[in-house]
Amino acid sequence: MHDIRGEENSRTLGAILSEIADEMKEFLNTRIQMLKSELHETLAALSVALPLVLLALLLVGVAFLVFTAAVVTIIAAAFSGSQYAWFYSFIIVGALWTGFGGVAAFFAYNEFRAKAKFPKHTVQVLKADKVWIESEARTKNGRAA
C-alpha cells in the first residue's frame, strides 16, 4: 500500500489496532494507579485519625449523657408535685433531642449531597485527558479530510 508521497506503508490494520489497545491499557493502568495512590493517602490519614475520633466520640457521648441527666433532673423538679414528674421530663428531653437530631441530620444530608467526595485530582486529570483526546481526534480528522 502506498501513501500520498509514494512511500510504502508497512503497518497492517491489526498492528495499528494492537498498538492502540496497548496504549489504552497503559493509559487506564496509569489512571487506576493514580486513583489507588490517592485512596491510599486518604486511608493512611484515616488510620491515624480514627482512634482519636473514636475517643472523642466516646467522651462526648459520656458528656452528653451527663448533661441529659442534668436537664431531665431540672425538668423533673419543675413537675415535682406530680407522680409522673420523671416520666414527663424524660419525654420532653427525648422529644427535644429528637428534634435537634432531625435538624442536624437534615443539614448533614444537604452537605453530603452538595459536596460529594471523590478523588478530585484524578477527576481533573481525566477531564484534561478527555479534552486532549477530543482535540487530537479533531486534529487527525482535519488532516484526513
The DSSP line for 3-24 is -TTS-B----HHHHHHHHHHHH
Dist CA 41 CA 48 (whole Å): 11
User: Beta partners for 8?
Assistant: 2
- pLDDT of res. 117: 66
Helix, strand, coil percent values for the chain (each to nearest 5): 85, 0, 15
3-state secondary structure of 83: coil
CB 86 within 8 A of CB 72: yes
pLDDT in tens, the chain (145 residues): 445 554 456 778 888 888 888 888 888 888 889 888 888 888 887 887 888 889 999 999 999 999 999 999 999 999 999 999 999 999 999 999 999 999 999 999 888 887 766 667 777 888 888 888 878 777 766 665 4
- pLDDT of res. 71: 95
- pLDDT of res. 116: 67
Dist CA 71 CA 52 (whole Å): 28
